[in-house]
Amino acid sequence: MRQLFFRLSTLLLGIGMLVLSGCANVHYANDYKSGTDFTGLKTYSWRAVTVDIGGTDPALLERLADNQLAAQGFVRTQANPDMLLDMQVFARQSKGGNSSIGIGIGMPVGRHGSVGLGTSQLLNKGKQEGVMLIDVTRASDNTLVWRGSAEGIPLIQFSLSAEQKLGATLAQLLGKFPPSSAP
């Protein structure tokens, strides 16, 4: 009986860990000004990189974004860029998703009785997440033409040892620029 209880609790713990690991997904979104012709936008310059997460180097974020933009064929320049880029990175209280998780175990005792054990844990309460916003402004008329966002970034990704994960987040975010459905 103890062995069965141990196996059940181990199985439920494993399932619980899988459910909890699924809650740490980064959500990407982007929006653009309709009617914008993105084909003429080839060069860019950084206007501002603002980081409000302690220990995060703005120069690192800029370099990682530069690497991704270069891979997409864009060229960084200070002289007459087609686009001006702004990046904001900050932490906030997480929102959305599951609000709680519960686990229950029941065993039959005797012919008509049973014993139950249950627990519940609130998720995302007080949890901090990282948010990254990138704005692309057409330099010729100072018009915002594209905005991309990544929300739900685990704060651990902003540590020095997680440069590859942060690079992957930027690659996913900037990979949506320019939008494929634009004219």
pLDDT, residue 67, reads: 97
The token pair at 48 is 């501002």
The count of other CB atoms within 10 Å of the CB of residue 144 is 15
- At 78-127, the pLDDT tens digits run 999 999 999 999 999 886 555 566 666 666 766 666 666 666 665 555 68
pLDDT-derived band at 19 (thresholds 50, 70, 90) equals very low
DSSP string, 154-172: -GGGGSGGGHHHHHHHHHH
Question: What is the reported pLDDT for 180?
Answer: 79
Single pTM value for the model? 0.70
Question: In whole numbers, what is the pLDDT of the chain averaged over residues?
Answer: 82
In tens, the pLDDT along 61-83 reads: 999 999 999 999 999 999 999 99
Question: 25-98+124-174 is classed in which CATH architecture?
Answer: 2-Layer Sandwich (3.30)
SS3 74: coil
Domain residues of the chain, as ranges? 25-98+124-174
For residue range 143-182, list pLDDT tens digits in order.
999 999 999 999 999 988 889 999 999 999 999 999 876 5
Cα angle for residues 133, 91, 53 (degrees, 5° grid): 95
Higher pLDDT, 12 or 171: 171
In the predicted structure, residue 25 carries a pLDDT above the cut 70: yes
Q: CA-CA distance, 121 to 33, in Å (whole number)?
A: 43
For the segment 32-38, the average pLDDT, to the nearest whole number, is 93
Residue 24 is predicted with a pLDDT of: 56
**Between residues 161 and 4, the one the model is more confident about:** 161
Whether residue 13 is predicted with pLDDT greater than 80 in this model: the reply is no
Query: Which pLDDT does position 94 carry in this prediction?
Result: 80
DSSP bridge partners of 43: 75
